[in-house]
Structure 1
Amino acid sequence: MTRPPTAAQRRVIGAAEPVTGRLRGTEFQLAALVARGLAFRHPRPPHDHFLTPTGHRIREEAQPADTPAAPAAPPASGTTGVFAARVGGETETPAAGAARTREVHSAWTGLLELRRMTNTDGAMDRPCGWERTHLVQAAALALEAAGHRPEDGSGGGGGASGGYRVRATPQPEAVAVREPDGDALRACAATLEKAGWQVGEYTEPRTGTRYLLASPRRT
């Protein structure tokens, strides 16, 4: 088993860009992370360094969890310094307005760049490896970036206010998206399909509620 990263290496990992995992550090620090399998050097210019899935896990384990409603997603609090797309139903939500819009746009742009650099053919129209290991967060980012409204759980209304809610499912590589408004649900499906997800609409047998199952497209 490899040794755990040093305190200095953890600081470099913790300072990585939240969505893309792009790293900044000295050549020695970056090379040491690569040697431990926590980072990789991109083969295309400018040859930046990015966290591997193991590096991402170490980064996320160091962040305080504050949203048990979405166990598959990173923390959603605006106070942690970690960007997280809204998955719907958060009891504490980041501030809205122009600042949030800029954050979401920057995160989505960064994710598209991550697709370009990590998909073997440079494709930006289908999900990358990071999205497959962060299904809830990735689907929620695609929805929020397209302007869909997440469910607001801060008032304890149990979803009465409407809006999307993204949750993990027992199925591999699949998330469930719920939205009480039928037209809004179909709009969510269209957004996810455009973002490179395979989407199907289903009905819960007991309640008759319509919902989406979405999986990252591979080809």
Structure 2
Amino acid sequence: MSRPPTAAQRRVIDAAEPVTGRLRGTQAQLAALVERGLAFRHPRPPHDHFLTPAGHRVRDAEPAREQQAAPAARAEGVFAARTGGEEEPAGPGSARLREVRGAWEGLLELRRMTGRDGAVDRPCDWERTHLVQAAALALEAAGHRPAGPDPDGPGYRVRATAQPEAVAVREPDPAALRCCAATLEGAGWQVSAHGEPRTGEKYLLASPRRA
């Protein structure tokens, strides 16, 4: 891409659905994004447009801009997977369950559309650049309970690590931790169990599987 997107095109990119990258805009705007390699037109009806991996990178390329937009996004109800430790952890309400189910189905569709062979058993580029959110979504979609604000309370916590393609998953209940491992493996992640040298606390390291 030789030229940056115009302001109007940038607004279309920024307004894409968080997980699937589905775009809304005029036909001229969408066609221009396709020409620049930032979007593609789905071959099946209704022929919606979606961000390509390059389009996702453009949207995620300005951390300061994302931080400024975050309060507005939360106010508008943009979906975010629960990573554990939130002040207001999600309850099992039907509205939240529908949101999680819809986000997971959208992620599987993104895998199908962007994978070389249309498979949905391997994480896509979006997941590799949003490791914590992707792993948390897989866990929440499978029915695991995110931890609340109590640091010693039950529930999973997904956190970034110093490793570039791995997240740490902690859960004080050993049986629940094993279930988290099984869920992530079934969702296309490589998982290994570890223990803290000083405390012996068990945790998981999870990375998106490539093949």
User: TM-score, with normalisation over the residues of structure 2?
Assistant: 0.86
Q: State the secondary structure of the residue aligned to 1:176.
A: strand
Q: Which runs of 5+ in 1 are unaligned?
A: 67-73
Number of equivalences:
205
Superposed CA offset, 1:154-206 (max 9, x none): xxx3x222110001111121111000110010000010011111111111111
Conserved 8 A contact 1:78-1:94: no
CA–CA separation in structure 2 for the residues paired with 1:36 and 1:136: 29
Q: Which runs of 5+ in 2 are unaligned?
A: none
Partner of residue 16, structure 1: 16
Distance 1:31 1:41, change over 3 A: same
CA–CA separation in structure 1 for the residues paired with 2:166 and 2:79: 22
Partner of residue 109, structure 1: 105
Conserved 8 A contact 1:64-1:80: no
2:169 partner letter:
V
Q: State the secondary structure of the residue aligned to 1:112.
A: helix
Q: Which moved more, 1:24-33 or 1:100-109?
A: 24-33
Conserved 8 A contact 2:89-2:146: no
Partner of residue 188, structure 1: 180
Specify which of 109, 120, 124 is matched with residue 120 of structure 2: 124
Conserved 8 A contact 2:121-2:187: yes
Partner of residue 71, structure 1: none
Distance 1:89 1:65, change over 3 A: farther
Distance 1:149 1:191, change over 3 A: same
CA–CA separation in structure 1 for the residues paired with 2:36 and 2:209: 30
2:140 partner letter:
E
What do you get for the CA RMSD once the two structures are aligned?
2.3
CA–CA separation in structure 2 for the residues paired with 1:25 and 1:179: 43
CA–CA separation in structure 2 for the residues paired with 1:211 and 1:79: 33
Q: State the secondary structure of the residue aligned to 1:33.
A: helix
Distance 1:209 1:110, change over 3 A: same
Partner of residue 190, structure 2: 198
CA–CA separation in structure 2 for the residues paired with 1:64 and 1:149: 27
Partner of residue 162, structure 1: 154
Instruction: Name whichever structure is richer in helix by fraction.
Output: 2
Conserved 8 A contact 1:78-1:93: no
Superposed CA offset, 1:86-121 (max 9, x none): 011123445651111100000000011111111101
CA–CA separation in structure 2 for the residues paired with 1:95 and 1:78: 17
Partner of residue 55, structure 1: 55
Q: State the secondary structure of the residue aligned to 2:207.
A: strand
Matches within 5 A, 1:37-48: 37-42=37-42, 44-46=43-45, 47-48=47-48
Identity value in percent: 71
Shift of 1:39: 2.1
Shift of 1:10: 3.2
CA–CA separation in structure 1 for the residues paired with 2:14 and 2:77: 10
Conserved 8 A contact 1:88-1:152: yes
